[in-house]
Amino acid sequence: MRNDITKRMNDMYQRDCLMAWFDVGLLWAAVIFVLIAILGIVQEPNIRLVLYVASFMLMLFNTASVFAMTKHFKEDKDYIYGLDLKHLDANRAAKNNR
């Protein structure tokens, strides 16, 4: 029984990490796309510099936060996903008893 719960927790963790990093990739693509589109309009060098720096900072902090989040999830996997599984199983049992 414990192996089944551990496998389910690992599956949930892997799925959460995959989606988090997929979202980071989408953010990078969106920021780069918008930056390229805007740089075609903006001619002022100082504003272009601000756009570069702001885009870099946005991507840096977002990537760092997802890295920290996935690391935290790995460290507290038993608590985070154990609680989720407990509630999921309780809800499933309640539905089946109706």
Q: How far is CA 10 from CA 24, 72, 80, 92, in A?
A: 21, 14, 11, 20
Q: What pLDDT score does 61 carry? A: 98
* Alpha helical stretches, state H, 40-76: 45-75
Long-range contacts of the stretch 50-59 (C-beta < 8 A, 24+): 55/31, 58/31, 59/27, 59/28, 59/31
Model confidence pLDDT, tens digit, residues 55-66: 999 999 999 999
Q: Which mean pLDDT values do the consecutive 10-residue runs of the chain (98 residues) have?
A: 80 94 97 96 96 97 96 88 85 83
Domain ranges of the chain: 2-96
Q: Is the pTM higher than 0.85?
A: no
Q: Which two tokens stand for residue 58?
A: 């946005």
